[in-house]
Amino acid sequence: MPTSDSDSFDALMAVAMAASRADEANRAIEGFQRASAVQPNAALPQFMLGAEFAALGDMSQAETAFANATRLAPDFPMARYQLGLLQFSSGRAAVALLTWQPLLELPQTDPLPHFIQGFAALAQDQFDEALAHYEHGLTLNTTNAALSGDIQKVIDGIRSLKHSTVPSDSAADVPEDSSAHILLANYQQQGHAH
- pLDDT tier, 5 (very low <50, low <70, confident <90, very high otherwise): low
Reference 111, options 139, 77, 145; nearest CA is 139
**What is the per-residue pLDDT for 88?**
95
Mind spelling out the 3-state secondary structure of the chain? CCCCHHHCHHHHHHHHHHHHHCCCHHHHHHHHHHHHHHCCCCHHHHHHHHHHHHHCCCHHHHHHHHHHHHHHCCCCHHHHHHHHHHHHHCCCHHHHHHHHHHHHHCCCCCHHHHHHHHHHHHHCCCHHHHHHHHHHHHHHCCCCHHHHHHHHHHHHHHHHHHHCCCCHHHHHHCCCCHHHHHHHHHHHHHCCCC
- Given a cut of 60, whether residue 167 has pLDDT beyond it is no
Q: Which CATH number fits domain 1-74: 1.25.40.10, 3.20.20.220, 1.20.1600.10, 2.40.30.10?
A: 1.25.40.10
**What is the per-residue pLDDT for 164?**
75
- Residues 15-32: tens digit of each pLDDT: 999 999 999 999 999 999
- Given a cut of 50, whether residue 182 has pLDDT beyond it is no
- Residues 45-90: tens digit of each pLDDT: 999 999 999 999 999 999 999 999 999 999 999 999 999 999 999 9
Amino acid at 55: A
Structural domain spans, the chain: 1-74, 77-194
- Give pTM, 2 decimals: 0.81
Give the mean model confidence (pLDDT) for residues 98-119: 97
